[in-house]
């Protein structure tokens, strides 16, 4: 991770096809295309990759979450349960629809704690959104059981986890709706792009129309298409889709490289008793895009994080100090700093953030170090890196 590290002639060929015909938009202009429909081809490839009936490409992972929720009827005043550890896009996408993000604790998987989900369900709860952070997963069976028993929509944000699996099924294909991001730093990239994945035809049709101003896409004349309902512009471009088309065909190659690099570092750190690793549910396999491990306490983790930076071990984070990925520093959400007025329902629904404590999440995130796994590293570079990490941690243990 990320796919841009290994751009090749395969990506260049797909992009040049688009530039050759000059049609950058995914819809219309049939006669000019010379048979090239990159977005449609990418959707077909992703259907195979995700072992799913339907894929709708959109402009970003954030768009994918909003489109997925909207396609299932989530909107004003509805509550959507989500984790404290994610990217800010998760709550942004929910609030875009006038819905209310209900943040709950994570467990040692670094994803939603099923017990915390169960305890947070209210009469307003419409959906549960699990976020498969850093390439791994939650206890999906437990979350599915909760959603089924309470008649809730189950949404899977797998933006950081393409290539991971749970009991043989690709992450992103397990819930009622799955969401992916193909931005510049994902395992496969379109530059900017995303996808909604589902086996529910109604949700797919809704996503198809909603992401393109409500167009029904019936017939061959875009000007005569009807609009069954309101929609917005979340379209991907043909140029973005072209890059993704080449990248998704290389996904097995990318996952293999990530697994090799991940395994070298993990095997090295496993020699230290003070280092423990995130829990991967039985039957799950990570995408190997990140290596996440825990240290004995927050102070220890912060010292290791600092030592890594001072010794040239880059792309490792202690998310407790991070502004983008953890509730602790999301003051713009807690204080509702918005360019436009926020609805009364959402204001009232988010008051809990003024006093809510997430001690369980703090316990895991404050002790966690998350290391991105680069695909451009040689095996020798990975071994050298793992040795540096080992030395840094041992030095702090012996202080």
One DSSP character per residue, 269-290 reads HTT-TT-EEPPPPTTEE--SSE
- Name the nearest CA neighbour of 67 among 215, 179, 189, 170: 179
**Burial tier of 39 (Cβ tally within 10 Å: 0-12, 13-18, 19+):** buried
**Burial tier of 219 (Cβ tally within 10 Å: 0-12, 13-18, 19+):** exposed
Contact 36, 237 (CB under 8 A): no
- Name the nearest CA neighbour of 122 among 150, 144, 141: 150
Q: Is 186 a catalytic residue?
A: yes
Q: What is the Cα–Cα distance from 222 to 76, expressed in whole angstroms? A: 31
Residue of 38, 126, 186, 374 marked catalytic: 186
- Name the nearest CA neighbour of 186 among 111, 281, 251, 277: 251
What are the catalytic residues? 186
């Amino acid at each position: 991770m990320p796919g841009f590290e290994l751009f090749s002639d395969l990506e260049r060929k797909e992009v040049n096809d688009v530039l050759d015909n000059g049609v950058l938009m995914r819809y219309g202009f049939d006669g000019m295309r010379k048979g090239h429909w990159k977005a449609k081809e990418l959707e077909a490839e992703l259907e195979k990759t995700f072992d799913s009936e339907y894929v709708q490409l959109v402009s970003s992972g954030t768009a994918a979450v909003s489109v997925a929720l909207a396609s299932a009827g989530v909107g004003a005043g509805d509550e959507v349960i989500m984790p404290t550890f994610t990217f800010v896009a998760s709550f942004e996408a929910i609030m875009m629809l006038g819905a209310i993000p209900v943040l709950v604790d994570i467990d040692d998987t670094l994803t939603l704690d099923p017990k915390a989900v169960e305890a947070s369900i209210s009469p307003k709860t419409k959906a549960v959104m699990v976020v498969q952070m850093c390439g791994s997963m939650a206890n999906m069976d437990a979350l599915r059981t909760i959603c089924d028993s309470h008649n809730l929509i189950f949404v899977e944000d797998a933006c950081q986890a393409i290539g991971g699996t749970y009991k043989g099924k690709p992450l992103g294909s397990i819930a009622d709706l799955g969401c992916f991001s193909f931005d510049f730093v994902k395992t496969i990239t379109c530059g900017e792009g995303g996808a909604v994945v589902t086996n529910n035809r109604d949700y797919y049709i809704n996503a198809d129309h909603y992401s393109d101003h409500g167009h029904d896409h019936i017939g061959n004349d875009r000007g005569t298409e009807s609009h069954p309902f309101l929609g917005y512009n979340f379209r991907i471009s043909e140029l973005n889709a072209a890059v993704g088309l080449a990248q998704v065909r290389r996904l097995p190659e990318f996952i293999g490289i990530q697994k090799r690099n991940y395994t070298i570092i993990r095997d090295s750190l496993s020699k230290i008793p003070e280092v423990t690793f995130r829990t991967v549910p039985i039957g799950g396999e990570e995408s190997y895009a990140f290596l996440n491990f825990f240290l004995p306490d927050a102070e220890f983790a912060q010292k290791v994080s600092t030592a890594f930076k001072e010794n040239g071990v880059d792309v490792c984070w202690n998310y407790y100090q991070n502004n983008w990925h953890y509730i602790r520093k999301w003051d713009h959400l807690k204080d509702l700093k918005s360019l436009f007025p926020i609805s009364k329902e959402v204001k009232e629904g988010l008051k809990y953030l003024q006093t809510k404590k997430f001690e369980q999440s703090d316990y895991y995130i404050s002790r966690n170090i998350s290391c991105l796994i680069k695909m451009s590293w040689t095996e020798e570079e990975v071994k050298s890196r793992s040795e540096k990490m080992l030395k840094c941690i041992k030095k702090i243990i012996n202080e």
